[in-house]
Copies of this chain bind each other. A is one copy, B any other.
Amino acid sequence: MLKPLTQEQIERIIETAIRHFADRGFAGANINKIATESGVSVGVLYKYYQDKTGLFTVCVQQSLDYLDAVFRETQAAGGTLMEMIENLIRRSQQAAREHPEYFRLYHQITVSGAPVLRMEAEHVDGSGSVAELIEGRSAGLYRQLLQEAKDSGEVRGDLDPAAFAFFFDNLMMMLHFAYACDYYQERFRLYCGEDAADEKKDEEVRGQLMRFIEGAFRGENR
């Protein structure tokens, strides 16, 4: 009789693997340790995942799904551009605190030397670059929202929606890392004080970031 892995076991494997990959990088992680710590044999790992890269890919996918869900929820909540942004920042702060490992793993794939991910595009509509798969949705949405806001006069008329979407996403990304990744957190504290990353300061940080973005988007000559 087949005794496939239970959902729980799979979750445990992925959870463990994400932690290891996030903390040590692809090259630094150890398949055997992941198996042992997951409570399964290496054998099943190789039954379920082609190889180390395959497992890594699944981990990345799960992490990105989480990040994407946060993003979609925020998007679904709707509101004005600025409301959505504030919402996004708030959810990001929560999410990065709750599941730093997902953000750390995301950070790992931005590093040269990470294996070429074997991700299947949901919509094979582009160059197929990894970045496109991962960032495609938010890139499109941000650009669109900014275009609409520009058309409606909510934001300055001289902004380039593409560039501003990019700069905005950069700020979001760095915020994620500031809450989830060691080096960026140290840096965050260096700039903003030892307690910068503490939960009690979230609102203040959010407020400043909103002010920064709002200024950037509205400009001086609305």
Tell me if B215 and A156 are in contact (CB < 8 A): yes
Assuming the contacts A136-B190, A163-B192, A190-B129, asked whether A25 and B171 have C-beta atoms less than 8 A apart, the reply is: no
Closest residue of B by beta carbon distance from A187: B131
Q: Which of A113, A132, A162, A213 has the most CB of B within 10 A?
A: A113
Tell me if B139 and A166 are in contact (CB < 8 A): no
Tell me if B166 and A191 are in contact (CB < 8 A): yes
Tell me if A209 and B167 are in contact (CB < 8 A): yes
Q: Per a CB cutoff under 8 Å, which of B22, B129, B165, B189 touches A112?
A: B22
Tell me if B171 and A208 are in contact (CB < 8 A): no
Q: Mark A160-185, 1 if CB is under 8 A from B, else 0.
A: 10111111011101110110011110
Tell me if A131 and B171 are in contact (CB < 8 A): no
Q: Measured between C-beta atoms, what is the minimum distance from A40 to chain B in Å?
A: 13
Q: Per a CB cutoff under 8 Å, which of B110, B135, B186, B190 touches A190?
A: B135
Q: Which of A185-222 contact B (CB under 8 A)?
A: 186-193, 204-205, 208-209, 211-220, 222
Assuming the contacts A174-B174, A208-B160, asked whether A192 and B166 have C-beta atoms less than 8 A apart, the reply is: yes
Task: Verify if A150 is at the interface (C-beta below 8 Å from B).
Answer: no
A–B pairs, 11, beta carbons within 8 Å: A22-B112, A24-B113, A109-B183, A110-B181, A131-B183, A132-B190, A159-B208, A165-B191, A166-B188, A173-B174, A212-B216
